[in-house]
Amino acid sequence: MAELRLVDLVKEFQSFDSPEGKVVAVDHVNLEVERGELVTLLGPSGCGKTTLLRMIAGFEDPTSGDIFLGDRRINDLAPNKRDAAMVFQSYAIFPHLNVFENVAFGLRLQNLTEAQVQERVNRVLELVGLTELARRSPDQLSGGQQQRVALARAIVMEPRLLLFDEPLSNLDAKLREQMRIEIRQLQQRLGITSVYVTHDQAEAMSISDRIVVMNHGRIEQVGPPLALYARPRNRFVAAFIGDVNFISGEVVAPGRVRVLTETFPVADMPESLRPGQQVTLTLRPESVELLSDPRSPQSQFSGEVRRVTFLGGMVEYEVQAEGLGSLVVHASNPILRGVLRRGDHVGLHIPPAALHVLP
């Protein structure tokens, strides 16, 4: 049995701006999270991911549907009775308590002995690397250290379910990368079932066992990061998960699509597609190979570089490809390969495995 189950979950809010007088924030969501799994709810602002998390935590009541933790229905339980802990976006640590007392606060409400509190808090502070800062006040901590305090305060309760509400959004880019690695390693070490909310695609892909892509309150697709990236179910998922080019093609036979004059074998083509049908293919920018000589035998299409954006470890090009339109192309290792210039004429090679047909 799944550790967490959401069954036909709906959340409606009253709205005077809507003709129906209500807004559906979460629309019949069904989801299962396995024990020890980290599942990320990903989507644009207003897609319903935070509302869904708050219902799991008990801060919002579902309009209809059920929430199960193991075999126990928890809809009617107060937040502090759900065996779940949340790490908030704003940290929400007490400014008048030092690090140790912030982490110990929840334990003291359980009437544990002082020895038990000391042992559990010290163990968790060591886990998150805060042992030497135990007596500091929050105003003496950096943003990353404050986030570690919030994380420690959640896991010291030894919850069955750990919830994250965009916990890294207040940190700078470099610290976000460091903290997401630390959170993932800690979650795997402790084996706590976790639900994580973010709108950052890179963050979701780097920490998740599975990603739930949401839009307008509904689930668009669920799967491991690589599956969603390589085989998106629809145009919304393809565009939201990373950068993508959309290319028009025509089905010429089962499992084969023609793009202009080139014919490509395509895996996982829907059986409903028939020869002569127009389709849209996805092509990730890093899958395109740029050739400095457009007359190269490997060149399938030719184009002109219209924009060059140097990003350190890679260069992003916008190439106006003949017959294909504007394509975004990512080229790695510019130190060794060099950087093309605006106006350069290039060839393009597209490996067949890089193309995915949208239904």
Confidence of residue 133 (pLDDT cuts 50, 70, 90): very high
**Per-residue pLDDT at 279:** 94
Q: What is the pLDDT of residues 298-339, one digit of tens each?
A: 999 999 999 999 999 999 999 999 999 999 999 999 999 999
- Asked whether the predicted pLDDT for residue 17 surpasses 80, the reply is no
Q: Which CATH class is domain 4-238?
A: alpha beta
Confidence of residue 43 (pLDDT cuts 50, 70, 90): very high
Residues in CB range of 2: below 8 A, 6 or more apart = 32, 33, 34, 35
Domain ranges of the chain: 4-238, 243-357
**Per-residue pLDDT at 16:** 75
Q: What is the pLDDT of residues 74-112, one digit of tens each?
A: 999 999 999 999 998 887 889 999 999 999 998 988 878
What is the spatial distance between Cα 268 and Cα 270, in angstroms, rounded to a whole number?
6
Q: Look over the chain and give the mean of its residue pLDDT values, rounded to a whole number.
A: 93
**Per-residue pLDDT at 270:** 86
Give the type of residue at 73: R
**Identical topology for domains 4-238 and 243-357:** no
Whether the Cβ atoms of residue 67 and residue 75 lie closer than 8 Å to each other: yes
Chain centroid offset of residue 54 CA:
18
Q: What is the pLDDT of residues 178-187, one digit of tens each?
A: 888 988 999 9
Q: What is the pLDDT of residues 163-209, one digit of tens each?
A: 999 988 888 888 888 888 988 999 999 999 999 999 999 999 999 99
Least confident of 51-55, 157-161, 218-222, 265-269: 265-269
**Per-residue pLDDT at 14:** 85
Average pLDDT, integer, range 147-170: 91
What is the spatial distance between Cα 146 and Cα 182, in angstroms, rounded to a whole number?
14
The hierarchical CATH code for the domain 243-357 is 2.40.50.100
Whether the Cβ atoms of residue 129 and residue 164 lie closer than 8 Å to each other: no
Q: What is the pLDDT of residues 18-28, one digit of tens each?
A: 777 789 999 99
pTM (predicted TM-score): 0.91
Which H helix or E strand runs over 5? strand 4-14
Whether the Cβ atoms of residue 265 and residue 351 lie closer than 8 Å to each other: no
Whether the Cβ atoms of residue 305 and residue 357 lie closer than 8 Å to each other: no
CA atoms within 13 A on the CB side of 96: 0
Confidence of residue 284 (pLDDT cuts 50, 70, 90): very high
What is the spatial distance between Cα 50 and Cα 56, in angstroms, rounded to a whole number?
10
What is the spatial distance between Cα 34 and Cα 110, in angstroms, rounded to a whole number?
28
Confidence of residue 275 (pLDDT cuts 50, 70, 90): very high
What is the spatial distance between Cα 327 and Cα 82, in angstroms, rounded to a whole number?
49
